[in-house]
A and B are shown apart, each in its own frame.
Chain A
Amino acid sequence: MDYQPPPFFSRGPAPLVRLGFFVSLAVLLMVLDARFRYAESLRQAVALLVYPFQRTALAPVELFSATSEFFTTQVALTRENDELKAKRLLAANDLLTLQALRAENAQLRRLLDARERLPRKSTLAEILYQGRDPFSRKVVLDKGSQQGVQAGQAVIDDIGVLGQVTRAHLLLSEVTLITDKEQRTPVQVVRNGLRAILYGGGDRGTLDLSWMAANADIQADDVLVTSGIDGTYPAGLPVAKVSRIERDAAYSFAKIICVPTAGTDRNRQVLVLSREAILPPPAVESEPGASSLSKQKARQKARISPGAG
Protein backbone atom coordinates (compact mmCIF):
# COMPACT_ATOMS: atom_id res chain seq x y z
CA MET A 1 0.00 0.00 0.00
CA ASP A 2 1.49 3.30 -1.01
CA TYR A 3 1.16 6.45 0.97
CA GLN A 4 0.47 9.79 -0.61
CA PRO A 5 0.81 13.22 0.98
CA PRO A 6 -2.48 14.70 2.19
CA PRO A 7 -4.28 16.68 -0.51
CA PHE A 8 -3.61 20.08 1.07
CA PHE A 9 0.11 19.65 0.30
CA SER A 10 -0.57 18.97 -3.33
CA ARG A 11 0.17 21.97 -5.57
CA GLY A 12 -0.45 20.45 -8.95
CA PRO A 13 2.22 19.91 -11.57
CA ALA A 14 5.74 21.31 -11.07
CA PRO A 15 6.29 24.92 -12.20
CA LEU A 16 8.69 23.85 -14.94
CA VAL A 17 6.06 21.49 -16.36
CA ARG A 18 3.47 24.27 -16.32
CA LEU A 19 5.90 26.66 -17.98
CA GLY A 20 6.64 24.09 -20.65
CA PHE A 21 2.93 23.57 -21.30
CA PHE A 22 2.06 27.26 -21.60
CA VAL A 23 5.16 28.16 -23.60
CA SER A 24 4.47 25.43 -26.12
CA LEU A 25 0.85 26.58 -26.34
CA ALA A 26 2.03 30.16 -27.00
CA VAL A 27 4.57 29.02 -29.60
CA LEU A 28 1.88 26.96 -31.33
CA LEU A 29 -0.40 30.03 -31.43
CA MET A 30 2.38 32.23 -32.79
CA VAL A 31 3.25 29.79 -35.55
CA LEU A 32 -0.42 29.40 -36.47
CA ASP A 33 -0.88 33.17 -36.53
CA ALA A 34 2.29 34.12 -38.37
CA ARG A 35 2.57 31.29 -40.88
CA PHE A 36 -0.89 29.90 -41.53
CA ARG A 37 -3.38 32.55 -40.34
CA TYR A 38 -5.46 29.83 -38.69
CA ALA A 39 -5.79 31.67 -35.38
CA GLU A 40 -8.09 34.39 -36.71
CA SER A 41 -11.29 33.06 -35.12
CA LEU A 42 -9.60 32.78 -31.72
CA ARG A 43 -8.27 36.31 -32.16
CA GLN A 44 -11.78 37.53 -33.03
CA ALA A 45 -13.17 35.96 -29.87
CA VAL A 46 -10.45 37.37 -27.61
CA ALA A 47 -10.70 40.77 -29.31
CA LEU A 48 -14.42 40.84 -28.58
CA LEU A 49 -13.58 40.09 -24.95
CA VAL A 50 -11.11 43.00 -24.83
CA TYR A 51 -13.43 45.39 -26.68
CA PRO A 52 -15.23 46.72 -23.54
CA PHE A 53 -11.83 47.47 -21.99
CA GLN A 54 -10.72 49.28 -25.12
CA ARG A 55 -13.86 51.41 -25.18
CA THR A 56 -13.51 52.18 -21.46
CA ALA A 57 -9.89 53.21 -21.96
CA LEU A 58 -10.98 55.50 -24.79
CA ALA A 59 -13.80 57.12 -22.82
CA PRO A 60 -11.73 59.79 -20.98
CA VAL A 61 -9.97 60.78 -24.21
CA GLU A 62 -13.26 61.07 -26.08
CA LEU A 63 -14.78 63.07 -23.24
CA PHE A 64 -11.82 65.45 -23.30
CA SER A 65 -12.03 65.99 -27.07
CA ALA A 66 -15.81 66.43 -26.88
CA THR A 67 -15.58 69.10 -24.18
CA SER A 68 -12.72 70.92 -25.88
CA GLU A 69 -14.76 70.91 -29.09
CA PHE A 70 -17.74 72.30 -27.23
CA PHE A 71 -15.73 75.17 -25.84
CA THR A 72 -14.16 76.13 -29.16
CA THR A 73 -14.12 79.90 -29.29
CA GLN A 74 -16.17 81.82 -31.80
CA VAL A 75 -12.98 83.41 -33.12
CA ALA A 76 -11.58 80.04 -34.05
CA LEU A 77 -14.81 79.07 -35.76
CA THR A 78 -14.98 82.32 -37.75
CA ARG A 79 -11.37 81.92 -38.82
CA GLU A 80 -11.98 78.36 -39.91
CA ASN A 81 -15.08 79.46 -41.79
CA ASP A 82 -13.11 82.13 -43.65
CA GLU A 83 -10.39 79.68 -44.51
CA LEU A 84 -12.92 77.18 -45.81
CA LYS A 85 -14.60 79.85 -47.95
CA ALA A 86 -11.27 80.82 -49.47
CA LYS A 87 -10.50 77.15 -50.11
CA ARG A 88 -13.87 76.61 -51.75
CA LEU A 89 -13.27 79.57 -54.04
CA LEU A 90 -9.95 78.09 -55.07
CA ALA A 91 -11.51 74.69 -55.58
CA ALA A 92 -14.42 76.12 -57.58
CA ASN A 93 -12.10 76.89 -60.45
CA ASP A 94 -10.92 73.27 -60.59
CA LEU A 95 -14.46 72.02 -60.13
CA LEU A 96 -15.76 73.96 -63.12
CA THR A 97 -13.08 72.54 -65.36
CA LEU A 98 -13.63 69.10 -63.84
CA GLN A 99 -17.14 68.86 -65.29
CA ALA A 100 -15.83 69.48 -68.77
CA LEU A 101 -12.86 67.19 -68.28
CA ARG A 102 -15.03 64.38 -66.95
CA ALA A 103 -17.32 64.58 -69.94
CA GLU A 104 -14.34 64.66 -72.28
CA ASN A 105 -12.75 61.74 -70.46
CA ALA A 106 -15.94 59.69 -70.69
CA GLN A 107 -16.12 60.35 -74.40
CA LEU A 108 -12.50 59.38 -74.95
CA ARG A 109 -12.98 56.20 -72.94
CA ARG A 110 -15.99 55.28 -74.99
CA LEU A 111 -13.90 55.88 -78.07
CA LEU A 112 -11.21 53.59 -76.69
CA ASP A 113 -13.92 51.08 -75.82
CA ALA A 114 -12.51 50.92 -72.30
CA ARG A 115 -14.65 50.02 -69.39
CA GLU A 116 -15.86 53.09 -67.63
CA ARG A 117 -14.31 53.54 -64.23
CA LEU A 118 -17.01 53.34 -61.61
CA PRO A 119 -16.96 55.08 -58.24
CA ARG A 120 -16.62 52.80 -55.25
CA LYS A 121 -18.66 52.41 -52.12
CA SER A 122 -17.00 54.02 -49.15
CA THR A 123 -17.38 54.10 -45.37
CA LEU A 124 -16.43 57.05 -43.20
CA ALA A 125 -14.43 55.92 -40.18
CA GLU A 126 -12.45 57.50 -37.40
CA ILE A 127 -8.97 56.64 -36.16
CA LEU A 128 -9.33 55.49 -32.56
CA TYR A 129 -5.67 55.12 -31.70
CA GLN A 130 -2.31 54.19 -33.11
CA GLY A 131 -1.39 50.60 -32.51
CA ARG A 132 0.81 50.06 -29.46
CA ASP A 133 2.76 47.31 -31.19
CA PRO A 134 6.21 48.88 -31.72
CA PHE A 135 7.16 46.33 -34.38
CA SER A 136 4.63 47.41 -37.00
CA ARG A 137 2.90 50.60 -38.09
CA LYS A 138 -0.83 50.29 -37.63
CA VAL A 139 -3.84 52.37 -36.63
CA VAL A 140 -7.18 51.16 -35.30
CA LEU A 141 -10.46 52.40 -36.80
CA ASP A 142 -13.85 52.53 -35.09
CA LYS A 143 -15.66 50.57 -37.83
CA GLY A 144 -15.55 46.80 -38.14
CA SER A 145 -17.04 43.97 -40.13
CA GLN A 146 -20.48 44.87 -38.70
CA GLN A 147 -20.28 48.12 -40.69
CA GLY A 148 -19.04 46.37 -43.83
CA VAL A 149 -15.32 46.88 -43.43
CA GLN A 150 -13.34 43.93 -44.78
CA ALA A 151 -9.69 42.99 -44.82
CA GLY A 152 -8.00 44.17 -47.99
CA GLN A 153 -9.88 47.42 -48.42
CA ALA A 154 -7.98 50.64 -49.09
CA VAL A 155 -8.04 53.52 -46.59
CA ILE A 156 -7.54 57.13 -47.66
CA ASP A 157 -7.80 60.56 -46.09
CA ASP A 158 -8.47 63.84 -47.84
CA ILE A 159 -4.95 64.15 -49.27
CA GLY A 160 -3.79 60.66 -50.04
CA VAL A 161 -3.53 56.96 -49.38
CA LEU A 162 -3.13 55.96 -45.74
CA GLY A 163 -2.95 52.19 -45.98
CA GLN A 164 -4.95 49.02 -46.16
CA VAL A 165 -7.29 47.22 -43.77
CA THR A 166 -5.38 44.10 -42.71
CA ARG A 167 -7.71 42.77 -40.05
CA ALA A 168 -11.40 43.48 -39.55
CA HIS A 169 -12.79 42.68 -36.12
CA LEU A 170 -16.51 42.79 -35.39
CA LEU A 171 -16.54 46.43 -34.24
CA LEU A 172 -12.97 47.61 -34.91
CA SER A 173 -10.52 47.21 -37.72
CA GLU A 174 -6.76 47.42 -38.00
CA VAL A 175 -5.16 49.38 -40.82
CA THR A 176 -1.55 48.74 -41.82
CA LEU A 177 -0.01 52.01 -42.97
CA ILE A 178 1.87 52.19 -46.27
CA THR A 179 5.01 52.96 -44.24
CA ASP A 180 4.90 49.51 -42.59
CA LYS A 181 7.84 47.32 -43.56
CA GLU A 182 5.57 44.58 -44.90
CA GLN A 183 3.39 46.87 -46.99
CA ARG A 184 3.72 47.28 -50.77
CA THR A 185 1.91 49.86 -52.89
CA PRO A 186 1.89 49.84 -56.70
CA VAL A 187 2.46 53.40 -57.89
CA GLN A 188 2.99 55.45 -60.99
CA VAL A 189 5.02 58.63 -61.48
CA VAL A 190 2.63 61.41 -62.48
CA ARG A 191 5.16 63.20 -64.68
CA ASN A 192 5.96 60.34 -67.05
CA GLY A 193 3.68 57.42 -66.15
CA LEU A 194 6.54 55.17 -65.01
CA ARG A 195 5.22 52.25 -62.90
CA ALA A 196 6.95 51.02 -59.77
CA ILE A 197 6.34 49.38 -56.41
CA LEU A 198 6.66 51.38 -53.22
CA TYR A 199 8.06 49.56 -50.17
CA GLY A 200 7.32 50.67 -46.62
CA GLY A 201 10.40 51.96 -44.80
CA GLY A 202 9.41 50.58 -41.41
CA ASP A 203 10.36 52.61 -38.40
CA ARG A 204 11.54 55.72 -40.24
CA GLY A 205 8.10 56.72 -41.50
CA THR A 206 9.41 56.95 -45.07
CA LEU A 207 8.97 54.84 -48.18
CA ASP A 208 11.47 53.25 -50.57
CA LEU A 209 10.99 53.10 -54.31
CA SER A 210 12.91 49.89 -54.87
CA TRP A 211 14.23 48.14 -57.95
CA MET A 212 14.39 51.23 -60.12
CA ALA A 213 17.35 51.28 -62.52
CA ALA A 214 20.05 53.81 -61.67
CA ASN A 215 19.25 55.75 -64.82
CA ALA A 216 15.46 55.70 -64.35
CA ASP A 217 13.73 58.97 -65.11
CA ILE A 218 12.82 60.02 -61.59
CA GLN A 219 13.54 63.39 -60.07
CA ALA A 220 13.20 64.84 -56.61
CA ASP A 221 9.70 66.21 -55.87
CA ASP A 222 8.08 63.82 -58.34
CA VAL A 223 4.57 62.94 -57.21
CA LEU A 224 3.64 59.26 -57.04
CA VAL A 225 0.02 58.15 -57.42
CA THR A 226 -1.56 54.70 -57.23
CA SER A 227 -1.43 52.88 -60.54
CA GLY A 228 -4.55 50.82 -59.85
CA ILE A 229 -3.18 47.62 -61.38
CA ASP A 230 -3.52 45.70 -58.12
CA GLY A 231 -7.29 46.14 -57.92
CA THR A 232 -7.03 47.24 -54.30
CA TYR A 233 -6.39 50.93 -54.64
CA PRO A 234 -8.30 52.93 -57.21
CA ALA A 235 -5.93 54.53 -59.72
CA GLY A 236 -4.75 58.11 -59.37
CA LEU A 237 -4.71 58.62 -55.59
CA PRO A 238 -1.67 60.57 -54.36
CA VAL A 239 0.63 58.34 -52.30
CA ALA A 240 4.01 59.97 -51.83
CA LYS A 241 6.54 62.50 -53.00
CA VAL A 242 10.15 61.71 -53.89
CA SER A 243 12.38 63.39 -51.36
CA ARG A 244 15.90 62.10 -52.01
CA ILE A 245 17.63 60.09 -54.73
CA GLU A 246 21.04 58.45 -54.37
CA ARG A 247 22.54 57.13 -57.58
CA ASP A 248 25.62 55.08 -56.87
CA ALA A 249 27.65 53.68 -59.77
CA ALA A 250 28.48 50.60 -57.68
CA TYR A 251 24.83 49.49 -57.63
CA SER A 252 22.57 48.91 -60.57
CA PHE A 253 19.56 50.24 -58.69
CA ALA A 254 18.99 53.76 -57.44
CA LYS A 255 18.11 54.36 -53.79
CA ILE A 256 15.00 56.51 -53.81
CA ILE A 257 13.45 57.75 -50.55
CA CYS A 258 9.90 59.11 -50.56
CA VAL A 259 7.73 60.76 -47.93
CA PRO A 260 4.04 59.83 -47.70
CA THR A 261 1.43 62.45 -48.59
CA ALA A 262 -1.14 61.45 -45.99
CA GLY A 263 -0.40 61.35 -42.29
CA THR A 264 -2.16 59.74 -39.36
CA ASP A 265 -1.38 62.66 -37.06
CA ARG A 266 -3.21 65.13 -39.26
CA ASN A 267 -6.78 63.91 -39.51
CA ARG A 268 -8.91 61.60 -37.48
CA GLN A 269 -11.52 61.02 -40.18
CA VAL A 270 -10.65 58.58 -42.93
CA LEU A 271 -12.49 56.90 -45.77
CA VAL A 272 -12.51 53.12 -46.23
CA LEU A 273 -12.95 52.28 -49.90
CA SER A 274 -14.84 49.14 -50.74
CA ARG A 275 -13.81 46.93 -53.61
CA GLU A 276 -17.34 46.85 -54.95
CA ALA A 277 -18.19 49.56 -57.38
CA ILE A 278 -21.44 51.49 -57.08
CA LEU A 279 -23.39 50.27 -60.06
CA PRO A 280 -25.60 52.75 -61.86
CA PRO A 281 -29.28 52.35 -60.96
CA PRO A 282 -31.18 50.02 -63.28
CA ALA A 283 -32.78 51.81 -66.22
CA VAL A 284 -36.45 52.68 -65.71
CA GLU A 285 -38.53 50.35 -67.81
CA SER A 286 -40.31 52.44 -70.35
CA GLU A 287 -42.11 51.45 -73.54
CA PRO A 288 -39.26 51.92 -76.00
CA GLY A 289 -36.77 50.23 -73.64
CA ALA A 290 -39.03 47.23 -73.13
CA SER A 291 -39.71 46.89 -76.80
CA SER A 292 -36.02 47.02 -77.64
CA LEU A 293 -35.38 44.34 -75.01
CA SER A 294 -38.02 42.06 -76.45
CA LYS A 295 -36.60 42.67 -79.89
CA GLN A 296 -33.17 41.69 -78.63
CA LYS A 297 -34.57 38.49 -77.11
CA ALA A 298 -36.35 37.69 -80.31
CA ARG A 299 -33.14 38.26 -82.24
CA GLN A 300 -31.24 35.96 -79.86
CA LYS A 301 -33.88 33.25 -80.25
CA ALA A 302 -33.67 33.61 -83.97
CA ARG A 303 -29.90 33.26 -83.76
CA ILE A 304 -30.14 30.14 -81.58
CA SER A 305 -32.95 28.34 -83.35
CA PRO A 306 -31.18 27.66 -86.68
CA GLY A 307 -28.22 26.13 -84.80
CA ALA A 308 -30.54 23.97 -82.71
CA GLY A 309 -32.69 22.97 -85.62
Chain B
Amino acid sequence: MSFYEQSQRILSPVKAGYMALTFVVALLFNLLPWRDVIGLPDMLALVLTFWCVHEPRRMGIGVAWVLGLLMDAGNGALLGQHAFAYAVLAFAAIGLHRRILWFSLWRQAAHVLVLLLGSQLLMLAVRLAAGGVFPGYAYFAASAIAAALWPTATYVLLLPQRRRQGLDENRPI
Protein backbone atom coordinates (compact mmCIF):
# COMPACT_ATOMS: atom_id res chain seq x y z
CA MET B 1 0.00 0.00 0.00
CA SER B 2 1.67 3.17 -1.18
CA PHE B 3 0.01 5.28 1.47
CA TYR B 4 1.35 2.99 4.14
CA GLU B 5 4.83 3.08 2.67
CA GLN B 6 4.68 6.84 2.70
CA SER B 7 3.92 6.94 6.39
CA GLN B 8 7.13 5.02 7.09
CA ARG B 9 9.17 8.08 6.21
CA ILE B 10 11.18 9.62 8.97
CA LEU B 11 9.15 12.39 10.53
CA SER B 12 10.34 15.52 12.24
CA PRO B 13 9.43 15.79 15.94
CA VAL B 14 5.97 17.04 16.77
CA LYS B 15 5.45 20.44 18.36
CA ALA B 16 3.38 20.63 21.53
CA GLY B 17 1.59 23.71 20.17
CA TYR B 18 0.47 21.77 17.11
CA MET B 19 -0.92 18.96 19.27
CA ALA B 20 -2.85 21.51 21.33
CA LEU B 21 -4.18 23.11 18.15
CA THR B 22 -5.51 19.77 16.87
CA PHE B 23 -7.26 19.21 20.20
CA VAL B 24 -8.88 22.65 20.03
CA VAL B 25 -10.10 22.05 16.46
CA ALA B 26 -11.51 18.64 17.42
CA LEU B 27 -13.26 20.17 20.44
CA LEU B 28 -14.75 22.89 18.22
CA PHE B 29 -16.00 20.21 15.82
CA ASN B 30 -17.68 18.39 18.70
CA LEU B 31 -19.31 21.58 19.96
CA LEU B 32 -20.80 22.55 16.59
CA PRO B 33 -24.60 22.82 16.87
CA TRP B 34 -25.47 19.45 15.35
CA ARG B 35 -29.18 18.81 15.17
CA ASP B 36 -29.84 15.16 15.96
CA VAL B 37 -27.26 13.78 13.55
CA ILE B 38 -27.00 10.01 14.00
CA GLY B 39 -23.53 8.52 13.97
CA LEU B 40 -21.67 11.77 14.40
CA PRO B 41 -18.02 10.79 15.06
CA ASP B 42 -16.43 11.96 18.29
CA MET B 43 -13.46 13.79 16.76
CA LEU B 44 -11.88 14.55 20.11
CA ALA B 45 -11.73 10.83 20.96
CA LEU B 46 -10.22 10.10 17.55
CA VAL B 47 -7.52 12.79 17.83
CA LEU B 48 -6.81 11.69 21.39
CA THR B 49 -6.35 8.08 20.28
CA PHE B 50 -4.13 9.26 17.44
CA TRP B 51 -1.73 11.19 19.65
CA CYS B 52 -1.71 8.44 22.29
CA VAL B 53 -0.66 5.94 19.61
CA HIS B 54 1.86 8.19 17.86
CA GLU B 55 3.28 10.21 20.77
CA PRO B 56 2.78 8.12 23.91
CA ARG B 57 5.61 9.96 25.70
CA ARG B 58 3.98 13.36 25.17
CA MET B 59 0.44 12.26 25.96
CA GLY B 60 -0.92 11.15 29.28
CA ILE B 61 -4.04 9.91 30.95
CA GLY B 62 -4.34 13.26 32.74
CA VAL B 63 -4.62 15.20 29.47
CA ALA B 64 -7.35 12.81 28.33
CA TRP B 65 -9.17 13.25 31.62
CA VAL B 66 -9.16 17.06 31.38
CA LEU B 67 -10.36 16.97 27.76
CA GLY B 68 -13.18 14.64 28.82
CA LEU B 69 -14.18 17.06 31.56
CA LEU B 70 -14.39 19.88 28.98
CA MET B 71 -16.64 17.69 26.81
CA ASP B 72 -18.89 16.94 29.79
CA ALA B 73 -19.38 20.59 30.65
CA GLY B 74 -19.82 21.58 27.01
CA ASN B 75 -22.40 18.93 26.26
CA GLY B 76 -24.32 19.03 29.51
CA ALA B 77 -23.60 15.34 30.08
CA LEU B 78 -23.05 13.73 33.45
CA LEU B 79 -19.90 15.34 34.87
CA GLY B 80 -17.06 12.83 34.67
CA GLN B 81 -18.64 10.59 32.05
CA HIS B 82 -16.37 11.56 29.17
CA ALA B 83 -13.42 12.04 31.55
CA PHE B 84 -13.78 8.42 32.67
CA ALA B 85 -14.14 7.03 29.14
CA TYR B 86 -11.28 9.13 27.72
CA ALA B 87 -8.93 8.17 30.56
CA VAL B 88 -9.51 4.47 29.89
CA LEU B 89 -9.23 5.09 26.13
CA ALA B 90 -5.88 6.86 26.57
CA PHE B 91 -4.58 4.08 28.82
CA ALA B 92 -5.54 1.39 26.29
CA ALA B 93 -4.14 3.37 23.33
CA ILE B 94 -0.82 4.04 25.09
CA GLY B 95 -0.63 0.40 26.10
CA LEU B 96 -1.23 -0.77 22.53
CA HIS B 97 0.84 1.82 20.67
CA ARG B 98 3.77 -0.51 19.92
CA ARG B 99 1.45 -3.13 18.44
CA ILE B 100 -0.87 -0.84 16.45
CA LEU B 101 1.84 0.91 14.45
CA TRP B 102 3.07 -2.37 12.97
CA PHE B 103 -0.10 -2.77 10.94
CA SER B 104 -1.28 -1.13 7.75
CA LEU B 105 -3.59 1.87 8.12
CA TRP B 106 -6.87 -0.04 7.67
CA ARG B 107 -5.80 -2.68 10.18
CA GLN B 108 -4.83 0.11 12.56
CA ALA B 109 -8.36 1.42 12.03
CA ALA B 110 -9.74 -1.95 13.15
CA HIS B 111 -7.78 -1.62 16.41
CA VAL B 112 -9.05 1.93 16.84
CA LEU B 113 -12.63 0.77 16.24
CA VAL B 114 -12.34 -1.64 19.17
CA LEU B 115 -10.88 1.10 21.40
CA LEU B 116 -13.59 3.64 20.52
CA LEU B 117 -16.37 1.07 20.89
CA GLY B 118 -15.00 0.24 24.31
CA SER B 119 -15.10 3.86 25.41
CA GLN B 120 -18.67 4.22 24.09
CA LEU B 121 -19.71 1.08 25.95
CA LEU B 122 -18.24 2.55 29.16
CA MET B 123 -20.23 5.76 28.70
CA LEU B 124 -23.38 3.77 27.93
CA ALA B 125 -22.93 1.68 31.07
CA VAL B 126 -22.38 4.79 33.20
CA ARG B 127 -25.43 6.60 31.83
CA LEU B 128 -27.72 3.57 32.08
CA ALA B 129 -26.61 3.17 35.69
CA ALA B 130 -27.41 6.85 36.30
CA GLY B 131 -30.93 6.46 34.89
CA GLY B 132 -30.57 7.45 31.24
CA VAL B 133 -32.40 5.98 28.27
CA PHE B 134 -30.84 3.59 25.76
CA PRO B 135 -30.24 5.72 22.66
CA GLY B 136 -30.54 2.85 20.15
CA TYR B 137 -27.89 0.84 18.33
CA ALA B 138 -27.25 3.72 15.90
CA TYR B 139 -25.29 5.24 18.80
CA PHE B 140 -22.43 2.85 18.01
CA ALA B 141 -22.29 3.95 14.36
CA ALA B 142 -20.29 6.95 15.59
CA SER B 143 -17.34 4.69 16.44
CA ALA B 144 -17.43 2.93 13.07
CA ILE B 145 -17.42 6.26 11.22
CA ALA B 146 -14.63 7.63 13.42
CA ALA B 147 -12.55 4.48 12.80
CA ALA B 148 -13.16 4.81 9.05
CA LEU B 149 -11.69 8.30 9.29
CA TRP B 150 -8.46 6.94 10.83
CA PRO B 151 -6.38 6.77 7.58
CA THR B 152 -7.45 10.30 6.64
CA ALA B 153 -6.74 11.52 10.17
CA THR B 154 -3.29 9.93 10.05
CA TYR B 155 -2.51 11.66 6.79
CA VAL B 156 -3.79 15.08 7.91
CA LEU B 157 -2.39 15.06 11.43
CA LEU B 158 1.10 13.99 10.31
CA LEU B 159 1.30 16.60 7.51
CA PRO B 160 3.36 19.21 9.43
CA GLN B 161 5.85 16.55 10.50
CA ARG B 162 6.71 15.38 6.99
CA ARG B 163 10.06 16.64 5.75
CA ARG B 164 10.16 18.15 2.33
CA GLN B 165 11.49 15.67 -0.23
CA GLY B 166 14.39 16.36 -2.53
CA LEU B 167 15.72 19.24 -0.55
CA ASP B 168 19.29 17.95 -0.59
CA GLU B 169 20.45 15.08 -2.78
CA ASN B 170 23.47 14.32 -0.59
CA ARG B 171 21.66 14.10 2.74
CA PRO B 172 21.73 10.53 4.10
CA ILE B 173 18.11 10.50 5.34
Contacts and interface: CB of A to CB of B under 8 A. Distances in A.
Interface of A: 15-16, 18-19, 22-23, 25-30, 32-34, 39, 42-43, 46-47, 49-50, 53-54, 56-58, 61, 128-136, 138, 140, 167, 174, 181-182, 202-203, 265
Nearest to A42: B79
Nearest 5 pairs of A and B residues by beta carbon: A129-B33, A29-B80, A135-B132, A26-B84, A46-B73
Interface residues of B, number: 47
A33 B35 contact: no
A53 B136 contact: no
17 contacts: A15-B61, A22-B62, A22-B65, A22-B83, A25-B83, A26-B65, A26-B83, A26-B84, A30-B126, A46-B79, A53-B31, A57-B31, A61-B33, A129-B34, A132-B31, A132-B75, A203-B134
B135 A130 contact: no
B76 interface: yes
Q: A interface, by DSSP: helix, strand, loop or mixed? A: helix
B80 A26 contact: yes
B127 interface: yes
A135 B133 contact: yes
A53 B64 CA distance: 18
Contact of A30 (B36, B80, B132): B80
A49 B70 contact: yes
A30 B73 contact: no
A135 B64 CA distance: 22
A22 B135 contact: no
Contacts of B113: none
B33 A130 contact: yes
A131 to B, nearest CB: 5
Contact of B127 (A129, A135, A138, A202): A135
A62 B136 CA distance: 31
B47 interface: no
B24 A53 contact: yes
A203 B33 CA distance: 19
A133 B75 contact: yes
B135 A203 contact: yes
A264 B85 CA distance: 30
A15 B76 CA distance: 29
B38 to A, nearest CB: 9
A27 B81 CA distance: 8
A53 B28 contact: yes
Nearest to B131: A182
Contacts of B33: 57-58, 61, 128-130
